[in-house]
Structures are given as structure tokens and as C-alpha cells.
Amino acid sequence: MNLSEPSSPPSKKSLILRLVVIVTVIFAIAELTDLTPSLFHKQHPEIIKLIEHAIEISLLSIFIYHFVSKPMFKEISGRIQAENQLRKTEAANRAILDALPDTILRISRDGTLIDYRLESEGVMNVGIGNHINDMFPESAVQDIMNCQETARKSGMLQKLDILVSDGANEHHQELRFVKFGIDEVLIIISNITDRKKYEDKLKYVSTHDSLTGLYNRAFYESQLDRLGKGRQYPISIIVIDLDGLKHTNDRYGHAAGDRMICKAADVLKMAFRADDLVARTGGDEFTILLTETDYHSLQLVLNRIHSYLDDANTAEPSFEIRFSLGTAIAESNEKFHDAVKLADMRMYEDKAIRKAAMT
């Protein structure tokens, strides 16, 4: 990939100025010889001629050296140093670029590919003369053109993440736009698919309960503030407590207790949609927040929970689980946090009633 830039043409203005000075000096010398005393001139014409020629040659040599040779040598030396420095810079830049495991595209002002080095997957139809339209998904073309235009005008690094597909596989690409020359831009493309997967995994771990796969308490609490300030009312709150978990842990061990928790989580996963906020908020406690859910809709949800719970227990009668449950509905953000507390209180009331009924 050719990354060199053309050097600027040499200036002629200084050379013309020096020639004018030389011509002026020569005329001055000629005038000076005319002022030589005539008597001495007649008696020793040969000596006068030699002196005149010597003066002329000396002065001319001095002026040629100072006004032509020395500046020219200095300019040539400066150009050689500048070219050497440019070659060193180009070599350093090339070494850096060659060390990058990235695709590099050299793009003209109108988005045409001038040169490239292809390393990573996901860029389609790469070829000299192709346009950005030919190489990237249609949905990303306008953003890419905007970034390359901004980088070209401002000289500042621009970044853009896009998703491209080469058939069955999808690739996350990070595009960095760097100004090159006057009207060109380098697009450095890194395949960040693995990094994205790792970031998604970290995000999942930070927001989900490791045992059940439901949202964890930290995520639930962050959503409490967001939903409380939102406008998706009415919001229904369901608080569920798994009955008998402590007894199972004490009698059969924590493995049996974890099995109970996972079975309860599976029931809730079946009863709710993937985008509903269903969280494990304690060891044996679950909380569900349902936006834009009124009393009638809430009753349908409760019926669905009990139906899936009955199905799970019928499928495994030797390992039944039971829920204590409390609900409340917040009609506005002023009532939201009170409704959350009310649902929790009603769950404990239901648990107390169920315990009393069993004694």
C-alpha cells in the first residue's frame, strides 16, 4: 500500500532575485573602473587591466558565493534533510501500519477506493476504483461518508462501529478515519467481534443472576428509578416468595434448595415475555415489574403464573414448589414506590395466611 505524499515544487523567486543582484554588481564594477585616474591609466595600462580584472573576478566570486552558491547549497542541504526525515517518517508509519492486524482503505474525497491492504473479514467487494457503496452495507454507507468527510475537514480522528455480514456470520467492525494528504482519508478497520462478545458477556453477568438467568437485584434497583420517573403507567408490581426454601436447605442441602429456586425461575420464564422485567431480588424472592398493565391485565398474568406452576408440579409431583404472592398497581410516579412497598407487604400477609392454614 503506497502511503507517500508528493513534495511541493521548488521556489524560483529567490533565484531570480539573486541574478538581479549579480547583474547590478557587475554594472557597478564597470562604473568603478571608469573612475580610475587617467594618468596612471596611461602609464601602466597592463597593471590597471590586471587590477580591474582581479577586482571584477573577486567581487563577482564573492557575490556569486554569497547570493547564489551558498543559498543554493543551503537550500539543497535543507531539502535533502527534509527528504531524509520524510523517508524516516514514512518508514516509521509503514512499520506501524504493517504491525496492525487491520484492513486499511485509502479513500478519495468522493468515497472511491484508491489503495488498500485487506486483513480482516467483513468488507465486501474490495477493489481499486470501487465506491464505499460497493464495500459496506447500505445501512452504514451514510454514516461512513459523514465520518470520512468530518475527518478530512477537521483533521481529527473519527470512530464508527458497524455490523456487517458475509453470509452466515456477522462481524462487528470498528472504523477509524484518519486524514491523509489534502483530499484523502485512511479508513482503518478492526474486527472487534470477539471484543463485543466479551463485552456482552460481561454486561450479562453484571445484570443477571448466575443461578437462574433472571435479572439480578442490582439491575432491578436500577430499573426502579428509571421506571419510577417514566410515563409507562399503570405499572403492576408482583412480589413472589418461594415457600419452604429454608426447610429444604436445612433438611436436604443447598443443592436441593438451588433446584427449587431454578424450578421457580423456570415457571416465571414461561409465564412472562423475554422483555418483561423479572428479577431474583433475594435468596427466595422474585419481583416482577410490568409497565402499562392495569388490574384486568394483571389478573390474566396471575392466572398464567398459577397455571404454569400447576403444570410444573404435575410434571414432577415429588418435588412440588409453592409461592406466596403479593401485588399492587401504581397509577402515577408519585405512587410508584409506595406500590412497591405495598406489594411486598401483601406477599408477607399471604405467606402468613398460608402458614396458618398449614398448622
Residue 141 lies in a domain: yes
151, 172, 195 — which closes off a domain? 195
pTM (two decimals): 0.64
Q: How many domains does the chain have?
A: 3
Domain co-membership, 253 together with 273: yes
Domain co-membership, 215 together with 354: yes
Domain co-membership, 171 together with 116: yes
Domain co-membership, 185 together with 246: no
Contacts (Cβ under 8 Å, ≥6 apart) of 189:
102, 103, 104, 105, 120, 122, 123, 173, 174, 175, 176
CATH code at position 166: 3.30.450.20
> Could you tell me which of 1, 252, 275, 268 has the C-alpha nearest to residue 118?
1
Range of the domain at 340: 208-358
Domain co-membership, 121 together with 69: no
Domain co-membership, 331 together with 217: yes
Per-residue pLDDT of the chain (359 residues; tens, 9 = 90+): 665 554 444 455 665 666 666 666 666 655 555 555 554 455 556 666 676 667 667 766 776 766 667 777 777 777 787 777 767 666 655 665 565 668 889 999 999 999 888 765 555 678 899 999 988 888 999 999 999 999 999 999 999 999 887 777 788 899 999 998 888 999 999 888 889 999 989 999 999 999 999 999 999 999 998 888 888 999 999 999 999 999 999 999 999 999 999 999 999 999 998 889 999 999 999 999 999 999 999 999 999 999 999 999 999 999 999 999 999 999 998 899 999 999 999 999 999 998 888 76
Domain co-membership, 112 together with 79: no
> Could you tell me which of 276, 282, 281, 285 has the C-alpha nearest to residue 236?
276
99, 119, 136 — which closes off a domain? 99
